[in-house]
Amino acid sequence: MEYRQGPSISISFLILSILVLVLSTFGSSPDSPEVIVMNSYVPFEFRAMSGLEASDFKTAFEDSARSDHIVAFFQNPDTRPLTLAFFEKLTGDYGIASAILEACAERDVPPALAFALAYEESGFDPKAFNRNPSSIDRGVFQLNSSSFPDLSITDFYDVGTNVRLGVAHLAFCLKQGGNDVAALAVYNAGLGRVSKGGTPRRTLDYIYKITGNRERLEALFEAQVVARHSDSASLAQAQADSFGAN
């Protein structure tokens, strides 16, 4: 995987600041306030940089909660075609778009996060290939041969299989990390490396690009799908009301 020049120090610190908004279950008692607020993992050096009290973490997470219109529109039969068309244009492939949306719905994974991740990993190329020193990453979600040793070459490059396993692995990372940023760190560097405080700088760059693309993707969906659908629905309702008045 090729990494371009990363963000500025201030942006990297912002990512670190987001990472400290999760608390480690390692070394904490089950009844501690930290565990009650958020059951998740973050490296010690990130926690040490935070000046937040335990109660502040809960407030920060509640304030950052977002409504996922992509999920709502995909699950609604009336707006599902609009959603599929939007992501088909984004990916250039209806099969990839449909597979990611279906897998996200099944695993309760934010679709914008999954699409942003797949774009960074492979550019939505089902034949993407990246050789590491001791393993190979393949397919849309760049599944690693060491992480999936029993998967055949055919399955690695099968869109349905690759997407299903990639989103399932992202769901696992979200559960382990507790939030999107920590999950991306685990997806990229591995849980073992992150838990030992060995998250590399390139992983911070990776997180920065994916979270930025996720935000842009959600904004684009709001503008091109949600807003236009709302305008059309309002117009249709106005026409119906006008017809009824006559």
Look at residue 228 in the predicted model and tell me its pLDDT. 86
State the pLDDT at residue 225. 94
In a domain, 136, yes or no: yes
User: Would residue 48 count as lying in a domain?
Assistant: no
Residue 31 lies in a domain: no
The answer to whether residue 46 sits within a structural domain is no
Tell me whether residue 205 is in a domain: yes
Ranges of residues in the chain with a pLDDT under 50 are: 1-14, 17-52, 54, 56-64, 235, 238-239, 242
In a domain, 35, yes or no: no
Neighbour count for residue 89 (Cβ, 10 Å) = 11
Query: Is 235 within the bounds of a domain?
Result: no
Q: What is the pLDDT of residue 245?
A: 54
The CB-based long-range contact list for 161-165 (8 Å cut-off, 24+ gap) reads 162/126, 162/138, 163/96, 163/99, 163/100, 163/103, 163/118, 164/99, 164/103, 165/141
Distance CA 83, CA 22 (A): 32
Domain carrying residue 128: 66-225
Cβ(37)–Cβ(23) below 8 Å:
yes
Give pLDDT, residue 59: 47
Q: Can you read off the two tokens belonging to residue 57?
A: 């973490």
Stated as kind and residue range, the H or E segment containing 175 is: helix 159-177
Does a structural domain hold residue 26?
A: no
**CATH number where 80 lies:** 1.10.530.10
- Residue 96: the pLDDT is 98
Q: How far is CA 218 from CA 116, 123, 140, 150, 176, in A?
A: 10, 18, 20, 35, 24
User: What's the domain count of the chain?
Assistant: 1
